[in-house]
Structure 1
């Protein structure tokens, strides 16, 4: 029983708030003073203290036939032009309902009183629409994603890099050939060698006091005596004595 009462009270509050929001709020312009020339609070200061929304209503209190309320443009508001009103309220206690957001400009029908400050600017707030609720995103557990299966990779045969055969070094065509060795005559060598042997044999025989020194050179047999006598014998020839 208690829960039913609580639920009923909640529903009543919701309905009242809905009705209030749809019908708007009623504002009394000028408070107790009403729509007059010299209010206790400036009309624009009063409007700045309040928040106006679409469907709200302004209540203008004045004497019928002695005053009026004109809805004008911005230019006519600042110039207090009363000849081209958008809307005129002349019934005494007048009501005006805001049907859109934005600024509204009101002046009195008396141009002199308008210049003295009997005018009002009201700015109506824009309508705020509730953002649409997006459906909740599926949880990670409910959405099962399968990863794509990659095909098996085949082993790649190893390839040895080709071995470059060594390039045969080609001798340049303009290479200089070595000069052939000089061939000295065999007789010159024989003469020089013979005299060296003879000189050496004589020196040895004189130094050692030997009777004879026998040397062999090529096909010659050389005999040197201590007195310096030289004998040359060829193979198959009769010995001959050479005086030094």
Structure 2
């Protein structure tokens, strides 16, 4: 019975902690999403994994974010059938590996540097993401938000309680 409780507890803990390991990347760090910024240099200083999130922060109505393919990215021309993100606090979860391209479709903003390409690596389970060159959006050193860490610790404590009483 105790072994069964332990296995259940470990399964629950792994389901809570693994998603909490994802990193939130504020595109442009403290500069945000703006013209005349070197997003290629920014992206080269980071490591992106499946499950991570890109956060595009900008003044609503001034910029937008288009998901693009390589041709659209190179030509600074968003696809005709692609809807832009326009909230000013756009969050994109990286769901698959490979190159991903994003650009601003307002006027000539893309030509002024508002485009970014990221290379998404496989998900890292059981280990924290590599710390980015600048502080992540989360205040945690391991890319785990304080709320997620609290929940994981509470579940772990509850699991230990179950093991003790079993």
Task: Compute the TM-score of the two structures, normalised by the length of structure 2.
Answer: 0.61
Q: Is 1:21 aligned with 2:22?
A: no
Matched residue SS, 2:71 = helix
- Of 84, 87, 112, the residue aligned with 1:88 is 84
Provide, for residues 167-211 of structure 1, a one-character-per-residue CA deviation record: whole Å limited to 9, x for no partner: xxxxxxxxxxxxxxxxxxxxxxxxxxxxxxxxxxxxxxxxxxxxx
Q: CA deviation at 1:85?
A: 5.5
Q: Do the aligned partners of residues 70 and 93 (structure 1) sit closer, same or farther apart at CA in structure 2, a change above 3 Å counting?
A: same
Task: Find the residue that maps to 1:47 and give its secondary structure.
Answer: helix
Structure with more relative contact order (C-alpha pairs < 8 Å, separation 6 or more) = 2
In angstroms, what is the RMSD of aligned CA positions? 2.7
Match of 2:140 in 1: none
* Residue from 71, 74, 79 that aligns with 2:70: 74
Change (3 A) 1:67 1:27: same
**Equivalent residue for 1:118, pick from 104, 114, 117:** 114
Which runs of structure 2 are paired with 1:34-183 in the superposition (5 Å)?
34-39=32-37, 42-84=38-80, 86-127=82-123
Query: Quick check: which one's helix share is greater?
Result: 2
**TM-score in terms of structure 1 length:** 0.43
- Whether contact under 8 Å (1:72, 1:85) holds in the other structure is no
Of the two, which has the highest radius of gyration?
1
CA distance in 1, matches of 2:54, 2:125: 24
